[in-house]
């Protein structure tokens, strides 16, 4: 099946017929992509396959040695891969600012941003450099700030895409605006679910705001993919019933590259209740479609990060600065 076939009917979740693979990625020559957390797991294979398709890929990671090792491994697999590393710690607003300023100083546009990095089920309440609960701060607020600071570069692209990686746990997750940081009560998986639901609310609200400017905001979840994310939860279960990180990257790759995808779409694996298989359209949980909640999370995120993500249609320019 070709990438062109995928693009015929992006509204049909069965458009891939359960057969789409990384071999169906169209040429991405001339495009630039940033993938967060790409030194391992799903992010690694997302960056690798985007580079194989010809994109210039920047892997944005907090650990320099692991990132440089990932770049070396990618170049062994794809010798002509145009891939590089830049330091980014999503648990630090200062690091996000530095990364974004560096990118903006050397690139006029950004075609693909994959908000992939994340942490899960940290046993005890831990804080980021800015005092945010680590899961909410890294998984949601970090990516919110990063997207905002790169928004002008995204809108300078002819066909920009922002792919936000969420999780299947959003089917049961809830979000408490009065306990976003887990101060009153901290439960590891509840905090993780809240951060991943915030990812989806952000994806939908970004689509609502930026669609008129041609930006495609899409969400994905990887199903049960075997990565180091399961250090604290579900490790044995995923090892037993999960799929590889390479397979788990397929929804991200589909969302980042397939033709004709509509903003506000959500993709995940097609088999075993969304746990594994080729990418297909997934159901967005009702809570993630709550426009009032999405707006409240957006405004709270702006206040917490100091990054105002506004698109001024009348002037044609974005504002993603503090």
Residues catalogued as catalytic: 192
Say if CB 242 and CB 271 are below 8 A apart: no
Dist CA 212 CA 199 (whole Å): 21
Phi, psi of 115 (to 5 degrees): -80, 85
Structural tokens at position 185: 């009560």
Element (H, E) at 35: strand 32-36
- Residue 36 has what DSSP assignment? E
Cα angle value 233/235/240 (rounded, 5°): 140
* SS3 labels along 142-190: HHHHHHHHCHHHHHCCCCCEEEEECCHHHHCCCCCCCCCCCCCCCCHHH
* CA separation for the pair 305, 113 (Å, rounded): 19
Neighbours of 158 (CB within 10 A): 9
Q: What is the distance between the alpha carbons of residues 112 and 161, in angstroms, rounded to a whole number?
A: 5
Q: How far apart are alpha carbons 136 and 222 in whole angstroms?
A: 19
* Cβ neighbours for 113, distance < 8 A, ≥ 6 positions apart: 33, 34, 146, 147, 150, 154, 160, 161, 162, 163
SS3 99: helix
For 270, the enclosing helix (H) or strand (E) is strand 266-271
Report how far apart, in Å, the C-alpha atoms of 219 and of each of 36, 104, 129, 235, 283 are.
15, 25, 27, 24, 11
191 close to 238: Cβ distance less than 8 angstroms: no
């Amino acid at each position: 099946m070709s990438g062109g076939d995928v693009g015929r009917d992006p509204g049909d979740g069965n458009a891939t017929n359960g057969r789409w693979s990384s071999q169906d990625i169209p040429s991405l020559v001339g495009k630039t992509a940033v993938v967060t957390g790409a030194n391992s797991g799903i992010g690694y294979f997302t960056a690798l396959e985007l580079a194989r398709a010809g994109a210039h890929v920047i892997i944005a990671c907090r650990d320099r040695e692991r990132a440089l090792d990932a770049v070396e491994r990618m170049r062994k697999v794809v010798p002509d891969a145009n891939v590089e590393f830049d330091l980014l710690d999503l648990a630090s607003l200062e690091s996000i600012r530095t990364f974004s300023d560096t990118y903006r100083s050397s690139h006029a546009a950004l075609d693909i941003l994959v908000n992939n990095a994340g942490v899960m089920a940290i046993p005890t309440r831990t804080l980021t450099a800015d005092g945010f609960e680590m899961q909410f701060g890294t998984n949601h607020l970090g990516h919110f700030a990063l997207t905002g600071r790169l928004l002008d570069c995204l809108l300078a692209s002819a066909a920009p895409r922002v792919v936000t990686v969420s999780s299947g746990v959003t089917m049961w997750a809830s979000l408490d605006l009065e306990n976003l940081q887990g101060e009153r009560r901290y439960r590891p998986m509840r905090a993780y679910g809240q951060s991943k639901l915030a990812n989806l609310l952000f994806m939908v609200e970004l689509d609502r705001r930026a669609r008129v400017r041609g930006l495609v905001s899409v969400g994905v979840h990887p199903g049960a993919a075997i990565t180091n994310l399961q250090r604290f939860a579900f490790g044995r279960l995923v090892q037993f019933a999960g799929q590889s990180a390479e397979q788990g990257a397929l929804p991200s790759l589909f969302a980042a590259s397939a033709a004709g995808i509509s903003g506000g779409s959500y993709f995940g694996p097609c088999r075993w209740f969304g746990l594994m298989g080729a990418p297909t359209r997934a159901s967005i949980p009702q809570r993630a479609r709550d426009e009032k909640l999405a707006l409240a999370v957006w405004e709270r995120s702006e206040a917490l990060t100091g990054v105002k993500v506004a698109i001024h249609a009348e002037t044609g320019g974005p504002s993603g600065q503090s």
